[in-house]
Amino acid sequence: MKILTNIQSVQVGGISQSVSSFLQFIEKNNDTDINVVGVDIIRKYSPNDQILSTRKTRNKITTITKTVFCKEIHSVLLGINSLKDLEKEYQSIIETFKKIILLEKPDLIVLNGTYFIPWCLHLAAKTFNIPVLLHYHGIITKETESWDAHSHLLMKQMEQTFDNSRIQYIFPSSLAKEVVEDQVFGHKISHSAILPNSIPAHFFEINSKGASRNIGIVNRWTAIKNPKFVTEFAKYNHGKKGAYKINLVTDVNSIKIQDRRRLKYVTLHSGMSPIKLGKFYGAMGAILCPSIFESYGNVPQEAVASGTPALVGNNMGIAEMFRTLGLEDFIIDFSSLKNVFEKVNEFSNQSVNKNIRNNMKNELSSDKLNTKLLNIYKQTTH
């Protein structure tokens, strides 16, 4: 079976980590007759940029890299009126996918995510009579709620085009599925599976217990990740004589100057590789995950796998897994700074129980979940 999917060249972040894990699983698994074609669309925003086109094959994995000149999505949205306009704007990407599909003749097309690159692959796939599977990672309608009304509406309409009886869906949590049903598609979804994200093995190898005074937050600096909480909690903590040292891992360059001024009580760290993140978790007393909404949440489960308590909100998909593992106490209300501070006091001196880490390793190992993922792929083609 040949699978064609969109990939990203930067292996940092939830989607890339999930795709990378599956590709590694296929490469080392000699018992499966599976070949994967990963298409990496690199956007260039200047006509003077070099245009590249490469195709490399290693064992069962073929990587096709295509550089496409296009406009940045935010500027495009402000200048158009409809999805048809968006389709015209990114026609070069759609046509690139069509040519690759025609050449590769895959048995299954997997859409990773619902942003405009997988959307372009979705539109290209409509031309062919090939099974399509959409692996939901984030929900664009939720991710863009803070955008201007016009752009947000177009993004929601774009996501709604994934509502198609031909498509099989994978969601990382029941919460994600329910939100798509209620707020995006407007109806129940029948052809779907729930599959949580796996945890790379190296997180379970962390054995150090960080200083209880160190509190970590790992977040993109975007509205849905609740950056307001970070600044307000840091100020609250400062009022408590700086009881804790708050460490924020994020894309520092994405933080506006006025926001940086409000982060004077926070130690900033640039984005880290998965290996460095494991060491970061191991150096913390607790990890805070204050997101307004998350389809799942890799950070908290990685932290717990590393032995460090992670406090999450009920509006995160990972809360379902925490309940399964007996970690209900780690699910808290982030609307009260006082409550969060008290919970940090309670848990930052503790380590995650070894039995819980072992259960998590058993339930969320990469091999186990990638085997399930592969079985879903096979079922979709039959």
Among the listed residues 212, 218, 208, 279, the one whose alpha carbon sits nearest the alpha carbon of residue 247: 218
Pair 225, 248: CB distance under 8 Å: no
Pair 194, 173: CB distance under 8 Å: yes
Distance from the Cα of residue 346 to its chain's centroid: 29
Same domain, 121 and 206: no
Pair 312, 340: CB distance under 8 Å: no
Same domain, 123 and 49: yes
Task: Give the C-alpha separation, 253 to 270, whole Å.
Answer: 9
**Residue 30: per-residue pLDDT:** 74
Find the Cα–Cα–Cα–Cα dihedral 145, 199, 66, 92, rounded to 10°: -30
Same domain, 160 and 75: yes
Task: Give the C-alpha separation, 2 to 32, whole Å.
Answer: 11
Output the tens digit of pLDDT for each of the chain's 382 residues. 999 999 975 444 556 778 888 988 988 887 678 999 999 998 777 666 666 788 888 889 999 999 888 888 999 999 999 999 999 999 999 999 999 999 999 999 999 999 999 999 999 999 999 999 999 999 999 999 999 999 999 999 999 999 999 999 999 999 999 999 999 999 999 999 999 999 999 999 998 777 889 999 999 999 999 999 999 999 999 999 999 999 999 999 889 888 888 899 999 999 998 899 999 999 999 999 999 999 999 999 999 999 999 999 999 999 999 999 999 999 999 999 999 999 999 999 999 999 999 999 999 999 999 999 999 999 999 8
- Which residues have CB under 8 Å from 197's CB, separation 6+? 14, 17, 18, 172, 296, 298, 301, 364, 369
Q: pLDDT per residue over 83-113, tens digit each?
A: 999 999 999 999 999 999 999 999 999 999 9
Same domain, 245 and 357: yes
Q: pLDDT per residue over 240-258, tens digit each?
A: 999 999 999 999 988 988 8
Same domain, 292 and 339: yes
Same domain, 9 and 141: yes
Same domain, 58 and 177: yes
Same domain, 217 and 285: yes
- 155 backbone dihedrals φ, ψ, rounded to 5°: -65, -40
Same domain, 154 and 75: yes
- Provide the domain limits for residue 279: 201-364
Same domain, 111 and 134: yes
Number of domains the chain is built from: 2
Same domain, 124 and 222: no
**Residue 11: per-residue pLDDT:** 45
Task: Identify the three-state secondary structure at position 366.
Answer: helix
Structure tokens at 61: 């994995």
**Residue 47: per-residue pLDDT:** 67
Same domain, 175 and 262: no
Q: Looking at residue 61, which CATH number applies to its domain?
A: 3.40.50.2000
**Residue 207: per-residue pLDDT:** 86
- Which residues have CB under 8 Å from 136's CB, separation 6+? 113, 114, 169, 170, 171, 172, 176, 177, 180, 295
Task: Give the C-alpha separation, 309 to 300, whole Å.
Answer: 8
**Residue 68: per-residue pLDDT:** 86
pTM value > 0.85: yes
